[in-house]
Copies of this chain bind each other. A is one copy, B any other.
Amino acid sequence: MINIGLIGFGNVGQGVYEILTQNTTLLTQRVGQPIRITKIAVRSPKKYQNLIPQDLLTTDVTDILTNPDIDIVVEVMGGETPALDYICTALNHKKYVVTANKEVVSKHKKTFFSLAKENGVDIYFEASVGGGIPIIRSLKVGLAANRIDHIAGILNGTTNYMLTKIEAEQQPFDIILKKAQDAGFAEADPTMDVDGIDAAHKLVILAAVAFKADVQLDDIYHEGIRHIELADIQHADALGYKIKLLALGHRETETQLSLRVHPTLIPKVHLLANINNEFNAAYISGNAVGEVLLSGKGAGGSPTGSAVVSDIIDIAFDISQKMNRRNLETELHQVTVSPITKTSNQYYIRLQATDTPQILEKITHELSQASISIQTLSQPTPQDGTAEIIIITHQSTEGNFNATIKKINDLDNISVINTIRVGLGRKIDLIRY
């Protein structure tokens, strides 16, 4: 019998409970012994009195954390505190920990890994990135032969849902945000999602797993989707691109990474461009396997519960055999993260200009002076004497590009409305899908 203590009983906790209840026979066969939820710590037991047997519930988390009968502590409450304390206490009591909490793992991974090692146990966190998609397991095991070189992820379901809907319904950001909030796909305060912070936390975790990098949220440039207008999505579409909020990780050298979260134009022929609605995806490039794409639902009680319970099963094997397999691999290294200004990208530029014959000449002059060449330039029919010009450039470093855009914006009769990065980074532009 493997005994589980659950901390938190919201969406994910209930998903875990349902999977363990519904798939009992199958899971017992798989593990070789039953998995049982022994205790669930919640703040208000009454809230759940029609959902589960009341004797499972406790308001005292030490009933779980220091309970010698409990083998695995499953933390699904979310947030940094008190989850940090709970996880540390559990590890110090030699309990395996499974968590779905991206924030606490992103911030305190190093502490957790070393506590786990000291105590001969481990912490599993598949559910913290990409919901039910086995991204972390694939990086650690299924693709273990590889040096991972690149990661490009759609890791935030809310923004992917919104970008899909802005295009499908041809309505602007604000209206779609309101609808997403009403439908439960976005929170009342959408900052974490729409400003790219949620995706950046997940990228911190993937950087630890894929690159063994010890980085923090502040090391990662992150830009959200608030400035993406319907017009940009329409122009991108006309040029053969979709706009997605990507979390990008490139291994530049052994100790230097590029890590960033920002909206990106992706050619429609790439699979990532076809990941829609609340689906997530991770595109991984390894030096042996080449390109791999993993996709599935990135949120929700049942998909996230799938990841939590799969972690539990993996640990259950270890416990059955009284051993620990994986925490050899958890040593993190100091790395340098390239500043965004040093990265090289293609760019989409949307300009408005009074329609004079010299405009294009002035713009192309500035780009040419900065050695930024133009891949495509299109100019839809001008209205009211104001022309909209859409340019997609070839590669430039971001610093050079920004300085040039400032110069163009300072020209008379021209204003730069928006700029968005294009492609998955220079090293993986060769798209085979």
Of A50-58, A81-89, A134-142, A226-234, the one with at least 4 CB within 8 A of chain B: A134-142
Q: How far is the CA of A207 from the CA of B336 in the complex (A)?
A: 46
**A60 shortest CB reach to chain B, Å:** 28
Interface range, A side: 35 or more
Q: How far is the CA of A12 from the CA of B294 in the complex (A)?
A: 24
- Give the chain B neighbours of A297 by CB distance below 8 A: 289-291
Nearest B residue to A15, CB-CB? B288
- Give the chain B neighbours of A146 by CB distance below 8 A: 19, 23, 306, 310
Given A145-B23, A271-B271, A289 contacting B306 (CB threshold 8 A): yes
In the complex, A325 has a CB within 8 A of chain B: yes
Of A26-34, A101-109, A190-198, A406-414, the one with at least 4 CB within 8 A of chain B: A26-34
**A271 shortest CB reach to chain B, Å:** 6
In the complex, A274 has a CB within 8 A of chain B: yes
Chain copies in complex: 2
Q: How far is the CA of A132 from the CA of B293 in the complex (A)?
A: 11
Nearest B residue to A297, CB-CB? B290
In the complex, A367 has a CB within 8 A of chain B: no
- Give the chain B neighbours of A308 by CB distance below 8 A: 145
Further pairs besides A30-B328, A294-B295: 19, Cβ < 8 Å: A26-B147, A126-B142, A131-B289, A132-B286, A132-B290, A132-B292, A141-B314, A144-B309, A145-B308, A145-B309, A145-B310, A146-B310, A288-B306, A288-B309, A289-B302, A290-B302, A293-B293, A293-B295, A318-B325
